[in-house]
Amino acid sequence: MVAPQTEELRVEIAGLVDKLGPGRSSLIPILQDIKHRHRELDSETMQVVAEMLDIHPVEVYSVASFYAFLHGAPQGAHVIRLCGTLSCDFAGKDAVADALCDELGIGFGETTADGQVTLEWASCIGMCDQGPALLVDDEVRTRVTPDDARAIVAACRADEGRADA
């Protein structure tokens, strides 16, 4: 017996394999696509991907666990990644971090109870001249003040899902 959502999942992954090719090289693009749309890589998903690429599930789990943007844990509708590296630190990232945590009521690495926002640290995002900088999903925000941070959180809260999803 295959659950209907599993069937749906299989069709989706088969479509990706079709588009990207059945080789191992397709693994990361497939995982990126799924993660982007479903915000997580669950147990069934990784096993179906493994099956369709003819690799072992533990290999999929291993690869996913390696990359900061892929790890399997469920994420919120929006992901805020605050740059933690030196120039942003100099520019006042701590105050922004405090504002984000305060406004969201969560710590880094956590997701709000309503599943709306995940907060993470990012290694340098290449906005060192305009720090503090952060990514909201794939979009970059620079010279973020604590007030900006609160506004960003409010916008994420108000938004149903990722604009690009």
The footprint of other proteins (CB under 8 A) covers 19-29, 31-32, 43-44, 46-47, 51, 53-59, 61-63, 65-70, 81, 84-87, 89-90, 122-131, 135-136, 138-142, 155, 159, 163
- Helices (H) and strands (E) counted in the chain, each on its own, are 7, 5
For the chain, what is the radius of gyration of the CA atoms? 18
Residue nearer to other proteins on the CB measure, 59 or 110: 59
Residue nearer to other proteins on the CB measure, 14 or 155: 155
The minimum distance between CB 102 and other proteins, in angstroms, equals 21
The minimum distance between CB 124 and other proteins, in angstroms, equals 4
State the virtual CA torsion across 106, 28, 53, 74 in degrees, nearest 10.
10
- Phi and psi (nearest 5°) for 83? -70, 130
Strands ordered across the beta sheet of 110-111: 110-111, 117-122, 78-83, 134-136, 139-141
Contact 142, 130 (CB under 8 A): yes
The minimum distance between CB 105 and other proteins, in angstroms, equals 21
What tokens does 76 get?
């919120």
- Phi and psi (nearest 5°) for 63? -65, -45
The whole-angstrom distance between residue 108's C-alpha and the CA centroid of its chain comes to 13
The minimum distance between CB 160 and other proteins, in angstroms, equals 12
